[in-house]
Amino acid sequence: MPDAPTLSPSTAPLAEAPFYLPQGSEVSLFEQAQRHGLPLLLKGPTGCGKTRFVAHMAARLGLPLYTVACHDDLTAADLTGRYLLKGGETVWVDGPLTRAVREGGICYLDEVVEARKDVTVVLHPLTDDRRILPLERTGELLEAPPGFMLVVSYNPGYQNILKSLKPSTRQRFLAFDFAYPAPDLEARVVVSESGVDTETAAMLVRLAGRIRGMAGADLEEAASTRLLVYCAILIKAGRPLREAVRAAIIEPLSDDPAVKAGLSEAIAALLG
């Protein structure tokens, strides 16, 4: 049996909402989508803040959140539920999607294209005017209450043609294109998440900009905001700058010695 999906129920009030710095109109767009029962697709590179944004919005709206990290073995049953043996009895256990529908919460499928194809079949009735979730194993037909919202995300720059959403699926969602924050905003995020000074944060953002210019040719992925925060945390903890950069940025980005050497040279030129 495949591993159970990674999920995280959360009902944090607005005062406990995870820090998120808006880049544009994404907050109001999310609120309008939730208010009108519209599903939402977030597109953007790894570590640019998609998951943090959804967690922030769930807390802002006071809704339970079920986050599922999709993977190759994720099936429709992992989302909807299955019968399990408990105490000598066979009982039905709801999956995270079913829980979100029953509770009128948010179900967030991170990197949805990684899941098996039968997952999108289950999602289709929830992403049109029916807003229903058929549970064939129990004979139930759940109608999504007004609070329920389905949010999915993926990284279109990383996925290949064999792992992409079909146009017929994409057109069931509102979509928002996430990108790395503008330099001034990204520096503020790094300061808030790590506690480093503004000058250090700005330097790390400039470093990320240099590396992102190499993405596509030498790198599969660019330096994410998440990695900048990791690096800043190490610096704040007293690790030497170059050691922190290597551990938090260079090594996570590549295993290729030539690519790592190129990154090191680019960074050394910037740091002086």
Element housing 43 (H / E): strand 40-43
Evaluate if residue 14 carries a pLDDT over 50: no
Local structure of residue 246 (DSSP, 8 states): I
Strand order in the sheet with 65-69: 65-69, 106-110, 149-154, 40-43, 174-177
Q: What residue type is 35 in one-letter code?
A: R
Q: What is the pLDDT of residue 49?
A: 93
Evaluate if residue 13 carries a pLDDT over 50: no
Q: For residue 173, give the nearest of 118, 123, 99, 134 by alpha carbon.
A: 123
E strand spans, 64-157: 65-69, 81-86, 89-94, 106-110, 132-135, 140-143, 149-154
Distance CA 209, CA 219 (A): 13
Q: What is the pLDDT of residue 269?
A: 87
User: In this structure, is the dihedral angle defined by the CA atoms of residues 60, 40, 142 and 65, taken in order, positive or negative?
Assistant: negative
Mean pLDDT over 114-133 rounds to 92
pLDDT digits (tens, 9 = 90+) for 22-61: 999 999 999 999 999 999 999 998 899 999 999 999 999 9
Q: What is the pLDDT of residue 240?
A: 95
Q: What residues contact 63, with CB distance under 8 A and at least 6 apart?
A: 11, 34, 104, 105, 106, 147, 149
**Considering the entire predicted model, what is its pTM?**
0.87
Burial environment of residue 133 by CB neighbours within 10 A (0 to 12, 13 to 18, 19 or more):
buried
Q: What is the pLDDT of residue 105?
A: 97
Parallel/antiparallel/unpaired status of strands 89-94 and 174-177: unpaired
Report the DSSP beta bridge partners of residue 133.
142
Tokens of residue 1, six digits: 């049996």
pLDDT digits (tens, 9 = 90+) for 68-82: 999 999 999 999 999
Q: What are phi and psi of 261, to 5 degrees?
A: -65, -40
